[in-house]
Chain A
Amino acid sequence: MTSGPARAEPSPAPSTDARYLDVAGVTKRFGATVVLKDLSIAVEQAEFVSLLGPSGCGKTTLLRLIAGLLTAELGTISVGGRDLTRVAAHRRNIGVVFQNYALFPHLTVAENVAFGLKAQRTSKPEIEQRVHEALGLVRMQSFADRSVASLSGGQQQRIAVARAIVVKPTLLLLDEPFSALDRKLRETMQIEMRHLLRNLGITSIFVTHDQDEALVMSDRIAVMSEGRIEHLGSPSEVYSRPRTLYVMEFVGQSTRVAGRVAGGSQGNLSIDTPLGRLSAPGGFAAGAAVVAGVRPEAILLGEGPEAEFNNLRANLSDVVFFGSKTTLIFAGAGPGDRILVEIARLPQSLRPGQEVAIRWRIDDTMVFPAP
């Protein structure tokens, strides 16, 4: 495989910079609507960070601000110590892979990849060599002279990536690049792109509304809601220790039981719920309305020792078979309450309508203030 010479050298700084991309206090309005509110995020060099959130949360706006395709009312954006806030998009050297790929329909594959180099007046032999290498990196060398219209979605995607990385951008922005691909191809491309970008050491910001995609690909995930970052952390942090109820609900599946803090001390709460008393780590005042959450794979069938486990009995309302796993759904008592349990194999005896004993570790219980 071709590698080596086409390696991106994103920054002159030899050591990794914890604030390589530094977005500080950015506010963006569209008319009367505030899309981003005093948002800050710092990204380390060579890191792969996902902006995860539902449509309308401001993730694409943030991406376009970083790219320079929009201007913020307030705040600064810098890359590698260079303040880019007032720099035009075409002078930022930030690559973008667009959702629909935005390949130039009047140019061939090779001409598309060469576009940035030509615009930057690179010499002809160098253009040829770098285009060849970039196409090699995405395994599209044999397609160089094809028209982009003749390519499949996955192939267009590779060309869009090759076109963006061939100019050695200081930062690569990817705007939901896999959303148009079918599921199988999407999973293949996710892993392939992750490998490629990691090998090249390109700092990447990746916008997605797909939590699985974010978990698979990212070094860190910024979960966004209504123009703010709710939680920035590694995939396992965001999944296992979500900072807010919103993050827990948005990333992955979860059991959710509303209750009221009965008492407790030293981070050891007891919570009264319609299903019984739960123990949980955390610091809430007695009487506070809270929501307890548990990840579905943390819940086990059967009882366990009281000191370690929350033991409950609940009515099995549905069984959903997914192949490699089976999800048991239990009816909750309050509105919005639900219990989800994931098990590898369904015991023969289990039928909907039965009362089932379930348990989970007290340490696995997450507690949030009730919304």
Chain B
Amino acid sequence: MSTFAIDTRRHPAAVRERRTWFDAKALLALPGLAFMTLAFALPVILLVSESFVGPDGLTLDGYRKVLADDYYVGIVGNSIKLALITTGTTLLLGYPAAFALARARGRLQVILFALIFLPLTVSIIVKTFGISIMMGRNGIINWLLVNLGFIERPIRLVFTEFNLYFGMVNVFLPFMILPLYSVMRMLDQRLTDAAASLGAGPVYTFAHVTLPLTMPGVIAGVSLVFSISVAAYVTPSLLIGDRFMTMSQVMAKAYLNIRDFQLGASMAVVLLTIATAIVLAASYLARAPGQSGR
């Protein structure tokens, strides 16, 4: 499909003319908006106010702890590191996979779709336990490594950082592929033909045509995977536990074990800020090329 060609034939002036200051269709968003106000905005406001309340009234102690105490700063670092590695790896694995998916036709496309998205239907807990079994001392990975002669005796894989990244990539890869695929599906294949006819080799064409035109998908995938993996709780808890503390784990402990609500709330606000910053930066980046193109 040649989306770009269709876009160009639509007169921008005609579309703009109809846009008035208020569109009645916007009212359709009202029920959803009301629900999200109740279920999301209100709790966030309560959370933010909680982060300023200590045992002796208003205080910044929560943030002092989270942002100045080496232990907690390390944990913020851990979360960011985990999110960066997960996002980077899913991008590297997901980009070519999404491309293959977008170019595949017929039965091959159905099979690829199933391979990529069926894992989403399996509960994270099930997947994570599966990985733990696979990575165990008597698991298939150790068995392979021993039999191929890479190692003499089974090594410890469970509860290692490698195990954690492995599991995180497994869980979040589909979230990277989906936005990439939806952009690549729209990419006009004739553009790469045109580039070749103009003397551009495959690498040049990728860097100057394919990549810029699929950038919106990259930005969407990166911001999605980063913002959910920075806050991941289940997978890190099950795959590595206390050995690699993340912000979510600290929050859970603060609320459930040590009952330090201010610590939990402060950590939550920091996490929310990081995730929001990523999403905002991404939507700014996604919009920037369109604006400069005028």
Contacts and interface: CB of A to CB of B under 8 A. Distances in A.
Contact of B200 (A90, A94, A100, A102): A90
A167 B198 contact: yes
A94 to B, nearest CB: 6
A153 B9 contact: yes
Given A96-B193, A98-B194, A115 B8 contact: no
Chain B interface size, as a band, is 20 to 34
B208 to A, nearest CB: 7
Contacts of B199: 90-91, 93, 116, 119-120, 167
Given A115-B200, A116-B198, A119-B198, A151 B8 contact: yes
Nearest to A156: B8
A104 B5 CA distance: 10
Contacts of B190: 98, 100, 102
Interface of B is mostly: helix
A292 B204 CA distance: 57
B198 A115 contact: yes
A215 interface: no
A100 B188 contact: yes
Interface in A263-310: none
Contacts of A106: 212-213, 289, 293
Nearest to A175: B190
B291 to A, nearest CB: 11
Interface string B206-217: 001100110000
Contacts of B195: 90, 104, 115, 119
A346 B100 CA distance: 63
B107 interface: no
B191 interface: yes
B4 interface: yes
Contacts of B193: 67, 69, 89, 96, 98, 102
A69 B7 contact: no
Contacts of B198: 90, 95, 115-116, 119, 163-164, 167
A164 B198 CA distance: 7
A16 interface: no
Interface string B252-294: 0000000000000000000000000000000000000100011
A167 B197 CA distance: 10
B130 interface: no
B194 to A, nearest CB: 4
Interface residues of A, number: 37
A92 B188 CA distance: 22
Contacts of B201: 88, 90, 119
Given A90-B201, A116-B198, A119-B201, A101 B5 contact: yes
Contacts of B60: none
A148 interface: yes
Contacts of B37: none
Binding site secondary structure of chain A: mixed
Nearest to A172: B197
Contacts of B41: none
Contacts of B4: 103, 105, 149
B31 interface: no
Contact of A104 (B196, B204, B209, B294): B209
A147 interface: yes
Nearest to B293: A147
A240 interface: no
B197 A89 contact: yes
B207 to A, nearest CB: 10
A150 interface: yes
B2 interface: yes
A94 B200 CA distance: 12
Contacts of A156: 8
Interface in A95-139: 95-96, 98, 100-106, 108, 115-116, 118-120
B106 to A, nearest CB: 12
Given A68-B196, A156-B8, A102 B191 contact: yes
Nearest to A155: B8
Contacts of B9: 153
Nearest to B188: A102
A346 B2 CA distance: 47
A95 B194 CA distance: 8
Nearest to A150: B12
Given A104-B191, A163-B194, 7 more contacts: A90-B197, A90-B198, A90-B200, A93-B199, A95-B198, A103-B194, A167-B199
27 contacts: A88-B196, A89-B196, A89-B197, A90-B198, A90-B199, A90-B200, A91-B199, A94-B197, A95-B198, A100-B5, A100-B188, A102-B193, A103-B4, A104-B213, A106-B212, A108-B293, A115-B195, A119-B195, A119-B198, A119-B205, A120-B199, A149-B7, A149-B8, A149-B293, A163-B198, A164-B197, A173-B197
Interface of B: 2, 4-5, 7-9, 12, 188, 190-191, 193-202, 204-205, 208-209, 212-213, 289, 293-294
